[in-house]
Amino acid sequence: MPLPNNAGGHRTFHAHGIRRDDSDVAPPGTHGAATLTGDEWFTEGMSETDWIAFGSIAGAVTAVATALMAVAVIITAFIAGHTLKATREDSRAKTRPIMVAELRRELLSEGTTLIVLKNLGASIAKNVNVGIEPPPPDDLDELPDDNMMKWIYERYATPITTWAPGWTLSNVIRAGYDTLRPITVTVVYEGPDGTQYEDMYYLHPDHILKETESNPSQTTELVKLEQQKIKTLRALVRTIRSN
């Protein structure tokens, strides 16, 4: 059905908001000499309101993308910081000094017990303060010289400025078969980087003195005497290895 002409002699077509007249239509036998590009098809016929709405949408998309990028940067920085902190703490744990207090039997002296402090860590311990419970009396001279605790209190009365790795200090805390009561040793010290540590050890004599072993009987028989010599040599070896 033929379409009516407009007053100007041109026909007008409407398709999806695009206004065209017949001057844009290619004559018969041609292949569209007058065509619209992709951008022209998208933008032709958009009003000012459409442009404002389009700009608002584009701005919102940009804002969301920027916010997501900022969140990603924050998360990445947090993970990196946490990883760095964990790495530092792991390195400090592997290289820190470790002060240990223990009771130890003197293998070559029957019934004798030692209190031993040693740095088992990989670095120097600084400003080492050793506290012992029960505490010393106000006046150490009140304790007799044969009281082993007197010498222990005096030895650790002042801080030790530098304690090298592997260095061991020991004192007799029980001679013969005297009564030995539990004690608590608290060691406060610093690492090379200034980090402060505090270790507490509850030392009960039963953990050491209740050890059982097999010993040869006292005898004048040559074979058993040799066995006793072997026992003494073994005790000596254990002492050397423990130090």
Q: What is the largest CA-CA distance in the chain?
A: 145
198 shares a domain with 226: no
pLDDT of residue 16: 45
Short-list 166, 160, 171, 184, CA closest to 97: 166
Residue type, 17: G
The domain that holds 114 is classified in CATH as 2.60.40
181 shares a domain with 136: yes
**Structure pTM?**
0.57
208 shares a domain with 103: yes
Domain span holding position 134: 99-212
Is there a domain that residue 71 lies in? yes
CA dist 26 to 7, 34, 55, 119, 216, Å? Answer: 21, 6, 35, 97, 123
Is there a domain that residue 57 lies in? yes
Number of independent structural domains in the chain? 4
| pLDDT tens digits for range 43-68 | 556 666 766 666 677 777 787 788 88
Low-confidence ranges of the chain (pLDDT < 50): 1-3, 6-10, 12-20, 22-23, 25-26, 29-34
**121, 163 in Cβ contact below 8 A?**
no
